Amino acid sequence: MKKVSIIMPIYNVAEQLEKAIQCALNQTYKNCEIILVDDGSTDASGEICDRYQSKNPTIIVIHQKNAGSGFARNAGLDRATGEYIYFADPDDYFEANLIEETIAKAIESNADVVVCGYYDEKVDKEGHVTTIEKKPDLNELLTKEDFRNRFRKHYNLSPYALWNKLYKHDFLKQHNCRFTNQKVGQDALFNQQVGMNVQFIYYHQKAYYHYVFREGSAVNRYRKERFFYEYTIASHFEDWMVHWGKEKEYRDLVNQQYWGALYLEL
């Protein structure tokens, strides 16, 4: 039975953290290790991690000085012993059958990455929730060539999100897929590394993860470095398309990346 490492970077999310940890513990697939990386939290998050670890032998807790979610995920990768890697965020939640059903697809297809759907949940300041289910356009295994030729279908569904993907650990190690210290968008740079080298990718048309966007959250705040971060992502995306020899075919997507950086800055 293949092992899955569920990696969760944690920073000052005490209010939502227990729900996220419980989602990992409630997985119907039982050969999981849960790696909680406390990235220098100043609230009760670290204590919550330790409390859960004391009661659950499948939980590993890492405490480190604040270095950002990217380096926290790297710390999790360094400790991970699973054949597959799943990244969850501590302020979201996910269905109990996520790991069981996605790893079944991964093993059956021998895919480097399995992409599934998710629920986009928006919470306004009054606490009202709006939910939209989002699923891949594709429902099949793609080879490297198919993936490159049908890349637009992949691009249509949060290509930079981590939480709607299951990764083969050996693939990540082989291609040195790691996170940078970029404060915003390190998930994008990571998935660009993955996408550039993927050999087999499986699309599963079922939603499991609940991505919760709260008004006033960190991703919705202005950062003076934001343009540099987004420009770096756009530049790496262009390099990716050039590496594939697809820069002309996907020129509109490259332009969209650069325009997105400018739009966010404005």
DSSP β-bridge partners for residue 151:
none
Q: Is the pLDDT of residue 203 over 80?
A: yes
- Taking residue 120's Cβ as centre, other Cβ atoms within 10 Å add up to 17
pTM (2 d.p.): 0.95
pLDDT over 90 percentage in the chain: 89
- Taking residue 198's Cβ as centre, other Cβ atoms within 10 Å add up to 22
DSSP β-bridge partners for residue 129:
123
pLDDT at res. 215: 79
225 DSSP assignment: T
pLDDT at res. 250: 98
pLDDT at res. 262: 87
Mean pLDDT of 81-103: 98
Please report where in the chains the tokens 């599963």 appear, as a residue. Answer: 204
pLDDT at res. 225: 84
Mean pLDDT of 198-224: 84
**In contact, 125 and 171? CB cutoff 8 Å:** no
**In contact, 163 and 87? CB cutoff 8 Å:** yes
pLDDT-based confidence at residue 216 (cuts at 50, 70, 90): low
Mean pLDDT of 240-262: 96
pLDDT at res. 218: 52
136 DSSP assignment: -
- How far is residue 207's CA from residue 256's CA, in Å, rounded to a whole number? 27
What does the pLDDT look like over 24-59, one tens digit per residue?
A: 999 999 999 999 999 999 999 999 999 999 999 999
pLDDT at res. 70: 96
Q: Is the pLDDT of residue 219 over 60?
A: no
- How far is residue 10's CA from residue 17's CA, in Å, rounded to a whole number? 8
- How far is residue 106's CA from residue 104's CA, in Å, rounded to a whole number? 5
Q: Is the pLDDT of residue 264 over 90?
A: no
- How far is residue 188's CA from residue 233's CA, in Å, rounded to a whole number? 7
What does the pLDDT look like over 148-193, one tens digit per residue?
A: 999 999 999 999 999 999 999 999 999 999 999 888 899 999 999 9
**In contact, 148 and 134? CB cutoff 8 Å:** no
pLDDT-based confidence at residue 266 (cuts at 50, 70, 90): confident
pLDDT over 70 percentage in the chain: 97
Lowest mean pLDDT among 42-56, 69-83, 215-229: 215-229
pLDDT at res. 179: 97
Q: Is the pLDDT of residue 11 over 70?
A: yes
Mean pLDDT (the chain, rounded): 95
Q: Is the pLDDT of residue 220 over 60?
A: no
Joined together, the tokens standing for residue 189 give 């740079």
